[in-house]
A and B are shown apart, each in its own frame.
Chain A
């Protein structure tokens, strides 16, 4: 008889990328020492390109010096995966959860993240699918709608997934997204005629799909994001 599993959810609004890394580092450390339960961050980033551990910067198609001109930052990270773009109207989830307590390895974890996004897309009548081998992520036909890039350290996860609600897709033209050439990027806005509700509602739906896919018994919605945002800092 397993004990009930609780997920604490923080909805943070728009968060600068480096700040989100600092928040995650702190939460990973707290999760490792059992100070907090499984935690989920729900947020957006200002226009930001990020690279994974393999530092595949050949997939950035414009000089780094041009990035400020287009209003974007670039960051190198320790997550898996290739280059990607994050920006307004893209829903991001960063789960800080213990995989050991559910006996999951990387593959099960990533497949369940894919299922969360597929289930979410289906709420709007969008038939999405998991990627083929070497194409981890969520696709509608040959168009990528959701990306995944995670890090697992002592069985605790960080980084996570990004689902395109209605971001400015032009930003993706400056990269080879996820290192996969000749495949388009798409969004929920493009794939459905359904009326999209307020983004706050959409984020909550995505979170609920995540919680269901990972079989959480309880979801605790944390109020007061300033508690982990440290409002003294800029951004």
Chain B
């Protein structure tokens, strides 16, 4: 029964372009995104990008109660902090996976910060950026590499 469920999940996952590890409770990693080693994702569409934090990140944060958003128009740099989330009395910096100018911030997160937990890749997006250097994307991880990175991090404890 468990084997059939597992095979079914792989079939559904490959249809939805999701990579699923065989381990129980592994986090979701989407194939068409790029990932930073600080657990942010970026979706590139032409010279625009959408940024958020990954499912792995939100699991390890706990319930998000506050999201500090940057101002629209502000510049962001790859690897530098642009905002923060608060969960379990901890503020954790969010780093930008790419450099550019902030075009839009997700204002829904002010009223509903928990969207970061419930929908990290969709409704929980954090900023939209106009890229200043498309070449930087090469420094980010593809989904398979990011999945492996998460497994290695989790194995440390």
B interface size (C-beta, 8 A): 26
Within 8 Å by CB of B89, from A102, A104, A148, lies A148
Once A and B bind, how many residue pairs between them come within 8 Å at the CB atom? Answer: 86
B73 beta carbon closer than 8 Å to chain A = no
B142 beta carbon closer than 8 Å to chain A = no
A106–B92 touching, CB < 8 Å: yes
Query: Chain A, 141-152, contact with B by CB distance < 8 Å: what is the 0/1 string?
Result: 000000011111
A140 beta carbon closer than 8 Å to chain B = no
A103–B157 touching, CB < 8 Å: yes
Residues of chain B in range 46-99 having any CB-CB distance to chain A below 8 Å = 57, 59-63, 65-66, 68, 81, 84, 86-93, 95
Within 8 Å by CB of A52, from B38, B61, B91, lies B91
Q: Across the two chains, which residue of chain B brings its CB closest to A215? A: B157
Report how far A78 CA is from B90 CA in the complex, Å.
10
Report how far A110 CA is from B62 CA in the complex, Å.
10
A46 beta carbon closer than 8 Å to chain B = no
Least CB distance from B117 to A in Å reads: 11
B154–A103 touching, CB < 8 Å: yes
A231 beta carbon closer than 8 Å to chain B = no
A interface size (C-beta, 8 A): 31
Within 8 Å by CB of A150, from B60, B63, B89, B153, lies B89
B59–A80 touching, CB < 8 Å: no
Within 8 Å by CB of B90, from A102, A103, A150, lies A150
A106–B60 touching, CB < 8 Å: yes
B57–A105 touching, CB < 8 Å: yes
Q: Contacts of A105 on B, CB cut-off 8 Å? A: 57, 59-62, 92
B90–A80 touching, CB < 8 Å: yes
Q: Contacts of A152 on B, CB cut-off 8 Å? A: 90-93
Q: Contacts of B154 on A, CB cut-off 8 Å? A: 103
Least CB distance from B112 to A in Å reads: 16
B153–A103 touching, CB < 8 Å: yes
B16 beta carbon closer than 8 Å to chain A = no
Query: 26 A-B contacts, Cβ less than 8 Å apart?
Result: A53-B66, A53-B91, A79-B89, A80-B91, A100-B153, A102-B156, A103-B153, A103-B156, A105-B62, A106-B87, A106-B88, A106-B90, A106-B92, A107-B60, A107-B61, A108-B157, A133-B63, A134-B65, A136-B89, A137-B89, A150-B89, A150-B91, A151-B92, A153-B92, A153-B93, A154-B38
Q: What is B's interface to A at a CB cutoff of 8 Å?
A: 38, 57, 59-63, 65-66, 68, 81, 84, 86-93, 95, 153-157
Name 15 extra pairs, CB < 8 A, besides A79-B89, A155-B38. Answer: A78-B91, A80-B88, A80-B89, A104-B60, A105-B59, A105-B61, A106-B88, A108-B157, A110-B89, A110-B90, A149-B89, A149-B90, A150-B91, A152-B92, A154-B81
